[in-house]
Structure 1
Amino acid sequence: MAFKKAERTQLYLRCALFGPSGSGKTMTALRMAKGIADTMGVPFAVIDTEARSASKYADRIPFDVDDLSEKTVDHYIAAMNECVKAGYRVLVIDSLSHAWRELTDEVDRIAQSSVSKNTFSPWAKVNPKQKRFIDAILNFPGHIIATMRSKTEWVIGEGKGGKVAPEKMGLAPEQGKGIEYEFDLLMELNQKHQATVTKDRTGKFQDESIDKPGEAFGVALYDWLSSGTAAPAPETKPAKTGKVKTEPPKAVPSKLPAEPSTAGSVKDRGKSIVQEIGQLITTVSESGSAYFTEGEKEEARGIIQTIKLDEAGIRDLGDLKGFLADELAKRKTKQESTRAA
């Protein structure tokens, strides 16, 4: 491995729009996608989970659509794989929030059926689905513009003629915590269809307020994205899904190095990961306080006992280890910030 001079390559857009109902997320996404697709000279596709809301604009903006009736992570991923097979290079996902709702509902079901009612164990089981979903978005070989619902709050503002009037405000997007890190461009829309760019890796639009962004804004983004050196041809291998219709669930890829699939090596790898998990859940702070409760430790050990030490089990253990490592890092950060305050 050697260092070399960094250079910016041509990129695929990863843009997310969020805002309350009526802020114009769908129309904005369609118009931006049209600007990019027209510049490229290609059609674009839409994955619609919002009761065919995108198709209401089909008389003004031409596009191809897949109206998802089953709004699960695996059906989202299956639809994205179909986009790859069909050769679409611009995709709108309207919206991501139903995928998150599936996961939170599943966590609630698992927690309520358990004796402890603890959500720690359910999230350890469900988190790999979210990872698969994010990986599918990041690895899509084309531009993606996604929308997310946001929780709504009413505040008192100034209406017409200076009169007091209620105003609808959007809060955090309805998706996983930290979802904003996965996108290059994050835009918050208000009821006047104005977008505030809250994150911008292009460095061109950060903190700008854009009135009704549309085709021209899409073209401006495409010009920046295509201005680098040519990127290597992307892999078009389908993203991994779980169970969709009659297909058997597929395990999530792990970050573990590939090794010969002999019984001995698999068991050795499994024991090694179990030991690492044990070290994570028994970590204590400098003051001697534990980061994980005894109940959470038992939850983790209970999950391990249900995992068979084969190749699929190794991947499951790797996912559990990753989840616990992330959780430990969050708790350490929280403890340090509390101490600093």
Structure 2
Amino acid sequence: MAFKKAERTQLYLRCALFGPSGSGKTMTALLMAKGIADTMGVPFAVIDTEARSASKYSDRISFDVNDLGKKTVDDYITAMNEAIKAGYKVLVIDSLSHAWRELTDEVDRIAQNSASKNTFSPWAKVNPKQKQFIDAILNFPGHIIATMRSNTEWVIGERKDGKSVPEKVGLKPEQGKGIEFEFDLLMELDQKHQATVTKDRTGKFQDESIDKPGEAFGVALYDWLSSGTVVPVPETKPAKTGKAKTEPPKAVPAKTPLTEPPIAGSVKEKGKKIVDEIGVIITANSESGNPYFTEMEKGESRKIIESIHSDEAGIKDLEDLKTFLNDELSKRKAANEPKTAIPASVPAATQAA
């Protein structure tokens, strides 16, 4: 593929708001969505997992809502597919945290039923669901504003009159490690409804503090997003749920591990190649010489390999394990990079017409 002059294209917004309870995540998301939708002249929709909290503001803001009863990854993806079919171009997801809780609960269940009680092996089975969830968000053909709860703690602050007062502050978002890399705009809200822009691919608001961002801020974002070159609209296919592909592989006694010889040549060679690639991943070290994976994690990986059958299904399980470990290695490498490092470009899936 030849090089060509780079140009900025029109984009779909991928924005995430996070903060402690009471920081105004839902209202902020609704107002920003209203600003974008009104500018576009379209209605907007909300996927609500917060016990109909968004609907409490329906007397002030007009929107359509899907109140999720079940809050599994599959239900989120189904709701996003319904939004695509209905033609919504602006979507609020309030919030992403319940999907993450489903996955962590599943990991705990698998770990408790295992002999080792270690959660590393279950994550190799559950992580594909998280990947499908993120892919569904990135590939949505419209603007998405999502909220995330954050872990909180109380600290002692000082009021203007000098008196001490307890304040609730947010910590990291309740979602998967590295979730911040998936969004163009990341905003942290505090109890005073002040938003700090911690990540901004527009280059206009990085590190700014915005007092109660609302409709006007949504309009400003839309003006920037729509100012690039128009690109053709790709055909949008419904995002796949995890029902067919992400169920944990059935436990089968390991009669013929891939590490033993009596198997067909092509399958054996393919399996050995993947095992070798996994070995390279789990033994990777940082530039300072520190290993990215612990000895316990390496041991868990080897146990998984030894339990996999030497057949085509086993090859698929090995490939899934390699994908999981490779993704985990990428996250750990990124975590060791300087905090100023920002992804150089917006994923192609976020490009809009």
Asked if these proteins are the same fold (TM beyond 0.5), I'd say yes
2:195 corresponds to which residue?
Answer: 195
CA distance in 2, matches of 1:13, 1:319: 30
2:4 corresponds to which residue?
Answer: 4
Offset at 1:129? 1.1
- The answer to whether the aligner puts 1:146 opposite 2:178 as a matched pair is no
CA distance in 2, matches of 1:116, 1:319: 21
Scaled by the length of structure 2, what TM-score is found? Answer: 0.82
1:86 corresponds to which residue?
Answer: 86
CA distance in 2, matches of 1:215, 1:25: 14
Question: Which runs of no fewer than 5 residues in structure 1 stay unpaired?
Answer: 244-248, 253-262
Does the 8 Å contact 2:308/2:317 carry over to 1?
Answer: no
CA distance in 1, matches of 2:45, 2:265: 47
2:321 corresponds to which residue?
Answer: 320
Question: Which runs of no fewer than 5 residues in structure 2 stay unpaired?
Answer: 248-263, 339-353
2:65 corresponds to which residue?
Answer: 65
| Per-residue Cα deviation, 1:10-31 (whole angstroms, up to 9, x for no partner) | 0000000001000000000000
| Per-residue Cα deviation, 1:104-151 (whole angstroms, up to 9, x for no partner) | 111112222222121110111111111111111111111000000011
1:303 corresponds to which residue?
Answer: 304
Select between 83-92 and 110-119 the one with higher mean Cα deviation: 110-119
Does the 8 Å contact 1:35/1:214 carry over to 2?
Answer: yes
Rate the CA distance shift 1:334–1:95 in 2: closer, same or farther, 3 A: closer
Q: Which amino acid aligns with 2:245?
A: K
1:275 corresponds to which residue?
Answer: 276
1:46 corresponds to which residue?
Answer: 46
CA distance in 2, matches of 1:313, 1:222: 47
CA distance in 2, matches of 1:218, 1:182: 19
Q: Which amino acid aligns with 2:201?
A: R
Q: Which amino acid aligns with 1:69?
A: G
Does the 8 Å contact 1:307/1:316 carry over to 2?
Answer: no
Does the 8 Å contact 1:141/1:235 carry over to 2?
Answer: no
1:22 corresponds to which residue?
Answer: 22
Rate the CA distance shift 1:39–1:270 in 2: closer, same or farther, 3 A: farther
CA distance in 1, matches of 2:128, 2:31: 33
Select between 60-69 and 292-301 the one with higher mean Cα deviation: 292-301
Offset at 1:227? 0.1
2:173 corresponds to which residue?
Answer: 173
Does the 8 Å contact 2:111/2:119 carry over to 1?
Answer: yes
CA distance in 2, matches of 1:336, 1:157: 32
Does the 8 Å contact 1:307/1:317 carry over to 2?
Answer: no
Paired residues, what number?
A: 321
Q: Which amino acid aligns with 2:91?
A: L
CA distance in 1, matches of 2:337, 2:322: 22
- The answer to whether the aligner puts 1:250 opposite 2:250 as a matched pair is no
1:182 corresponds to which residue?
Answer: 182
| Per-residue Cα deviation, 1:47-90 (whole angstroms, up to 9, x for no partner) | 11100100101111111111111111111111111111111111
Aligned residues: CA RMSD = 2.9
Offset at 1:265? 6.9
CA distance in 2, matches of 1:287, 1:171: 28
CA distance in 2, matches of 1:146, 1:222: 16
Offset at 1:291? 5.9
Scaled by the length of structure 1, what TM-score is found? Answer: 0.85
CA distance in 2, matches of 1:108, 1:136: 25
Offset at 1:235? 2.8
Rate the CA distance shift 1:142–1:307 in 2: closer, same or farther, 3 A: farther
**Alignment map for 1:102-141 (pairs within 5 Å):** 102-141=102-141
CA distance in 2, matches of 1:282, 1:196: 38
CA distance in 2, matches of 1:32, 1:24: 12
Rate the CA distance shift 1:294–1:183 in 2: closer, same or farther, 3 A: closer
CA distance in 2, matches of 1:175, 1:9: 29
Rate the CA distance shift 1:316–1:91 in 2: closer, same or farther, 3 A: farther
Select between 157-166 and 284-293 the one with higher mean Cα deviation: 284-293
Rate the CA distance shift 1:134–1:267 in 2: closer, same or farther, 3 A: farther
Select between 202-211 and 163-172 the one with higher mean Cα deviation: 163-172
Rate the CA distance shift 1:331–1:170 in 2: closer, same or farther, 3 A: closer
Select between 118-127 and 14-23 the one with higher mean Cα deviation: 118-127
CA distance in 2, matches of 1:335, 1:12: 29
Q: Which amino acid aligns with 2:38?
A: D
Rate the CA distance shift 1:50–1:334 in 2: closer, same or farther, 3 A: closer
| Secondary structure of 1:137's aligned partner | helix
Q: Which amino acid aligns with 2:153?
A: E
CA distance in 2, matches of 1:308, 1:96: 38
Offset at 1:269? 4.4
Offset at 1:332? 7.0
1:246 corresponds to which residue?
Answer: none
CA distance in 2, matches of 1:284, 1:203: 33
Rate the CA distance shift 1:300–1:147 in 2: closer, same or farther, 3 A: same
